[in-house]
Amino acid sequence: MSDSLHSVVDGGRSLLAPTLFGELEPATQQSLRESAPRRHYDGGAIISHRGETSTGFWLIESGRVTVGQFQVDGSFRALAVLGAGDSYGELAVFSGRRRVVDAVARGPADLRWIDRANFEAALAADPPSMRRMLGALSEELQEMLDVISGLRRGTASARIAGVLANLAGKSDRAIDVGQAELGELTGVSRVTANKVLASLEQMGLIQRGYGTICVLDREGLLRFSRG
């Protein structure tokens, strides 16, 4: 994946939304990017719908995209907030099934459309990238199952701590994510998210900034999330 739940400052992965494009060789990435049409979306625009037939996937060049599902009452349940450098939709390409999520631009966003045929041809010519993709996908599946288990059994504090640890990837780092996004992604209110973040900051695990959260102790967050 890319930058778990949302883009982090210096790279990472994206929780519940595997972004596998980054596993390709740089030359392969560049070739696909150059042949992919660029499309602009204004904030609130629907980029793709659940149930659509998958003929390719998206690479985000700028802006943010929320991936989730529209509910019967018209509300939107977010699963991931992705940023520049993230890609999404590869799993539908691999499986040959219809999309299971909706995607909405979170403010102005520019994306590249990677066609299925071009993607498959690039993979066929680059076996090492395919092996890295499979390895990354396997790792993400294991981590996703762990996160889902934690979301089901944990308190709001434990859920947010676990999500922040996942956002940070494998090291301490600054994460470009706000309280509202954390609330959407963990099923808590913005007020609750703010209280939890304040508590985690007092414990020395994080440091809050304007629109960012700096993870000071990822291992500490993991221990806290697991009780």
SS (H, E, C) the chain: CCCCCCCECCCCCCCCCCCCHHHCCHHHHHHHHHHCCEEEECCCCEEECCCCCCCEEEEEEECCEEEEEECCCCCEEEEEEECCCCEECHHHHHHCCCCCCEEEECCCEEEEEEEHHHHHHHHHCCHHHHHHHHHHHHHHHHHHHHHHHHHHHCCHHHHHHHHHHHHCCCCCCEECCCHHHHHHHHCCCHHHHHHHHHHHHHCCCEEECCCCEEECCHHHHHHHHCC
What count of other Cβ atoms lies within 10 Å of the Cβ of residue 125? 12
pLDDT digits 0-9 by tens, 18-52:
567 888 888 889 999 999 999 999 999 999 998 88
CATH class, domain 21-135, is mainly beta
Q: What confidence score (pLDDT) does residue 147 get?
A: 58
Q: What is the mean pLDDT of residues 65-73?
A: 83
Mean pLDDT computed over 76-102:
83
Confidence of residue 171 (pLDDT cuts 50, 70, 90): low
Q: What are phi and psi of 11, to 5 degrees?
A: 100, 155
The fraction of the chain above a pLDDT of 70, given in percent, is 82
Write out pLDDT tens, residues 112-168: 999 999 999 988 888 888 888 888 777 766 666 665 665 555 688 888 888 888 777
| Rounded Cα gap, residues 134 and 192, in angstroms | 37
Residues 6+ away with beta carbon under 8 Å from 205 = 161, 215, 216, 217, 220, 221, 224
Query: Rounded to the nearest 5°, which phi and psi values hold at 20?
Result: -95, -10
All structural domains of the chain with their residue ranges: 21-135, 155-225
CATH class of 155-225: mainly alpha
Please tell me the predicted confidence (pLDDT) of residue 203: 94
